[in-house]
Amino acid sequence: MVPRAPQVCNAGPFRQRQQGEPGIQFSALDIALACSLFLLIPYFGWGIYTLRKRYTHHEELNPAVEALTLAGLVVFYTAELALLRSWLGPLNEYFYLSALGLFVSGAALYGHMLLSLLSRLVVGAFMPAGKRQVHEPRYGAAEARERQGDFEGAVAEHQAVARAFPRDPISAIRIGDNLARLGRLEEAAAWFEAGLLRMGSPGKELSVAFRLCDLYSRDLEQPDEAVRVLEEFVARHPEAEHTETALRRLERIKGKAAPRKASHV
């Protein structure tokens, strides 16, 4: 008997291509899936970037950028849900679960923008018309909290100022001061770092750098971070008159850190 040749299944998406057929064929479902996945890249990328900018670097986005982002989010949801519906077919549990996942992730990534814009609108609606245009940060409420010993409240008041004036260095430094009083030293260091880069002059910047160095080397026992802060200052201001002072402080910190490293070897 002559052995029969094995039959090849020609059904399904992985069927063997016959002679004369095109090499690659994409269906509408394939294109919908590819578009859906492509749209997720800027969705997650921009969301993570804005979260890091707000909560790691303590910088506020411009309200116009926040409004444009939220408007783009509406367009994204409209397109994404349409693509999901064409890919998953008629409305079913898979579509609803996918839509729920999108909305939950959107709340986590972009909810802070919505709250920020709503708070600005509420303040603008209830604040007297003559007081709406505030061009300078005001620290009176926060300073009153500090005099009362309410450092948590002072932090909240200074954070409100920092949100309204994201480039203001004083509010960032005072937040760091009050967090240090509360024993939240790592958070205080992050705010000092943010305020340090906004000071505007080498002299003021160096005073904050020294306070940050004390926090790192003495309180947090992280001399390497103190060295980093001073080295970055010297790199930013190599010709400034305060650079020599920073270099001397840098050498002292390195000299103290060397015996510690040797004892751990």
Task: Tell me, yes or no, whether 191 and 252 share the same domain.
Answer: yes
Of these ranges, 117-131, 197-211, 246-260, the one predicted with the greatest mean pLDDT is: 197-211
In a domain, 33, yes or no: yes
Residue 222 is predicted with a pLDDT of 92
Task: Tell me, yes or no, whether 114 and 148 share the same domain.
Answer: no
Condensed to tens digits (0 to 9), the pLDDT of residues 124-182 reads 666 554 444 456 788 888 899 899 999 999 998 898 888 878 888 999 999 999 999 99
What is the SS3 assignment for 85? helix
Task: Tell me, yes or no, whether 259 and 154 share the same domain.
Answer: yes
Residue at which a domain ends, from 62, 93, 127: 127
Task: Tell me, yes or no, whether 217 and 163 share the same domain.
Answer: yes
Please answer whether residues 193 and 208 qualify as being in contact, where contact means their C-beta atoms are separated by less than 8 angstroms. no
Residue at which a domain ends, from 67, 101, 127: 127
Band (258; pLDDT cuts 50, 70, 90): low
| pLDDT(33) > 70 | yes
Place of tokens 């408007």: 71
Condensed to tens digits (0 to 9), the pLDDT of residues 58-85 reads 666 778 888 999 999 999 999 888 888 8
10 Å CB burial of residue 187 (0-12, 13-18, 19+) is middle
Residue-averaged pLDDT of the chain: 80
Task: Tell me, yes or no, whether 85 and 191 share the same domain.
Answer: no
Task: Tell me, yes or no, whether 50 and 106 share the same domain.
Answer: yes
In a domain, 81, yes or no: yes
Q: 237: domain CATH number?
A: 1.25.40.10
Residue 45 is predicted with a pLDDT of 92
Say how far residue 2 (Cα) sits from the centre of its chain. Answer: 71
Task: Tell me, yes or no, whether 86 and 174 share the same domain.
Answer: no
Q: Which domain holds residue 56?
A: 28-127
Least confident of 59-63, 217-221, 222-226: 59-63
10 Å CB burial of residue 162 (0-12, 13-18, 19+) is buried
Task: Tell me, yes or no, whether 73 and 104 share the same domain.
Answer: yes
Number of domain units in the chain: 2
Residue 52 is predicted with a pLDDT of 83
Confirm whether pTM is higher than 0.85. no
Long-range contacts of 189-192 (CB under 8 A, 24+ apart): 189/215, 189/216, 189/220, 189/225, 190/56, 190/58, 191/58
Task: Tell me, yes or no, whether 174 and 219 share the same domain.
Answer: yes
In a domain, 4, yes or no: no
